[in-house]
Amino acid sequence: MADPVTDLEIDVDLDIQEILLAASQHDTPKLRQLIRSNVTSGNPANVKDPETGYSPLHAAIAACEPDDDEHVKKGEPNGVQTNGEPQQHTSEQESTIQSAVLTVKFLLQEGAIWNDLDLNDETPGCIARRLGLTELYEMAVDAGVRAELLLNRLEGYEQLSDEEIEDEDEKQEQQEVGDAPGATEEEPIPQLVDAATATTAPTGDANPNVTNSRYLTSDLTFQQDRLLDQDQNGVMMAWESEIMAKSAKQLLPTSGLRVLNVGHGMGIVDGFFQEQSPSSHHIIEAHPGVVAEMKRKGWHEKPGVQIHEGRWQDILPNLVTQGEMFDAIYYDTFAESYADFREFFTEQVIGLLEQEGKWSFFNGMGADRQISYDVYQKVVEIDIFEAGFDVEWEAITVPTLEGEWNGVRRPYWRIDEYRLPLCKYMD
Ligand SMILES: C[S@@+](CC[C@H](N)C(=O)[O-])C[C@H]1O[C@@H](n2cnc3c(N)ncnc32)[C@H](O)[C@@H]1O
257 has pLDDT over 50: yes
Q: Look over the chain and give the mean of its residue pLDDT values, rounded to a whole number.
A: 86
* % of the chain beyond a pLDDT of 90: 74
Residues 230-255 have a mean pLDDT of 98
List helix spans (H) across 252-369: 268-275, 288-296, 312-321, 338-343
In which band, very low, low, confident or very high, does the pLDDT at 163 lie, cut at 50, 70 and 90?
low
CATH of 212-425, one of 1.20.1250.20, 3.40.50.720, 3.40.50.150, 3.90.470.10: 3.40.50.150
* pLDDT, position 337: 94
Indicate the residue type of 240. E
Q: Is 90 exceeded by the pLDDT of residue 172? A: no
Residue 205 pLDDT grade (very low, low, confident, very high; cuts 50, 70, 90): very low
Give the pLDDT band of residue 283 (cuts 50, 70, 90): very high
Residue with CA nearest ligand 1 atom 3: 265
Convert the pLDDT of each residue in 6-52 to its tens digit.
555 656 688 899 999 999 999 999 999 999 987 667 899 999 999 99
Q: pLDDT tens for residues 300-346?
A: 999 999 999 999 999 999 999 999 999 999 999 999 999 999 999 99
List the residue whose alpha carbon is closest to atom 10 of ligand 1. 333
Q: Measuring CA to CA, how many Å separate 150 from each of 145, 180, 193, 367?
A: 8, 13, 10, 21
**Which residue's C-alpha comes closest to atom 13 of ligand 1?**
263
Ligand 1 midpoint to CA 303 (Å): 21
Ligand 1 centre and the CA of 104: distance in Å? 41
Output the pLDDT for position 204.
37
Kindly list the domain boundaries of the chain, sorted by start residue. Answer: 4-142, 212-425
To test ligand 1's pocket by mutation, which of 264, 290, 337, 412 has the most ligand atoms within 8 angstroms of CB?
A: 264
Counting every residue written for the chain, the total comes to 427
Same fold? 4-142, 212-425: no
Once rounded to an integer, what is the mean pLDDT over residues 98-127? 98
Q: Is the CB of 244 under 6 A from ligand 1?
A: yes
144 C-beta closer than 6 A to ligand 1: no
d(CA 74, CA 110): 37
Query: Which string of DSSP letters, residue by residue, matches 53-90?
Result: ---HHHHHHHTTS--HHHHHHHT--SS---TT------
Q: Does domain 4-142 have CATH number 1.10.10.10?
A: no
| Distance from Cα 152 to the centre of ligand 1, integer Å | 23
Model confidence pLDDT, tens digit, residues 408-422? 999 999 999 999 999
Pocket probe for ligand 1: among 282, 312, 332, the residue whose CB has the most ligand atoms within 8 Å is 332
Residue 150 CA to ligand 1 centre (angstroms): 28
Q: Where are the alpha helices (DSSP H) in 181-232?
A: 212-216
